[in-house]
Amino acid sequence: MATLNPQLLAILACPACEDRPPLEWRGAYLVCHQCRRAYPIRDDIPVLLVEEAVPLEQIEPPPPSEPAQG
């Protein structure tokens, strides 16, 4: 389980967004809701690289879907 210093989190910002929105700590990832990227935290160090980011959908459970017909 990754740990993050709240003071560190407070100064981190999304490198992909021009207006540098704050990131939300979500378990092993830092999430930018503006561009919907999730940045991995490795060895308690946030990897704020666009090329390392994964789509937010990839780390979240898919939304509940309609029951399949038939």
Amino acid sitting at position 21 = P
Q: Does 47 bind Zn ion (CB under 5 A)?
A: no
Q: Any contact of residue 12 with Zn ion (CB under 5 A)?
A: no
Choose between 14 and 38: whose C-beta lies nearer to Zn ion. 14
For Zn ion, the binding residue among 12, 17, 47, 56 (CB under 5 A) is 17
Could you please report the per-residue DSSP string of 36-50?
TEEEEEETTEE---G
Per DSSP bridges, beta strands 37-42 and 29-32 are antiparallel
Site residues for Zn ion per CB under 5 A: 14, 16-17, 32, 34-35
